[in-house]
Amino acid sequence: MATSRPLNVLFLCMGNSACSIMAEGILGAVGGGRFRAYSAGSLPAGTVSPFAIELLQKNRLDTAQLRSKSWDEFAAPGAPELDYVIIVGDNVADLACPVWPGQPIAAHWSGTDPAVVGGSDEAKRKAFFTSYNQLFHRLMIFVNLPLEKLDRGALKQRLDDIGHD
């Protein structure tokens, strides 16, 4: 997939308060200018989890522009042309997503949503830490794929494979 602009990647989850937000923050930092990361939710919580913000900031990642928003923003006229749409977490996998302009490559990366973990703050921090590490690992694989050498089918397969480690 050759392009002269950064590749636009949209991460989706249900509430856009945890996993998709962390993925947006991580890819923004590790993408080396090759990617522009976005996130959204099918039923946005309206706020970003303070545990996600805390963890991103502890890892020295920029959180200033992160906000919980609806996936409708990315299906509307004038939205960025998406190259990839990656569903993160298991609670959105079966939902009917909007039709994205430009037919981006879509994938599902399975995982537990740390935003639904109950218990003490320490238990919640542990859940966020586990999700963060999984996302970081997957995104490092993604940014190191030879994207320009893989056809659309191979890219789709590699993205799906990343999400099932």
pLDDT digits (tens, 9 = 90+) for 92-141: 656 667 778 778 999 999 988 899 899 999 999 999 999 999 999 999 99
Q: Is the pLDDT of residue 63 over 90?
A: yes
b/e for 91-117, b at 16 or more Cβ within 10 A? bbeeeeeeebeeebbbbbbebbbbbeb
- Binned at pLDDT 50, 70 and 90, residue 2 comes out as low
Give burial (CB, 10 Å; 0-12/13-18/19+) of 136. Answer: middle
Average pLDDT over residues 24-45: 94
The distance from CA 26 to its chain's CA centroid, rounded to whole angstroms, is 9
Beta-bridge mates of residue 157: none
Closest to 131 measured CA to CA, from 8, 25, 34: 25
Locate the DSSP E strands across the chain: 7-13, 35-41, 84-88, 105-109
CATH class of residue range 7-162: alpha beta
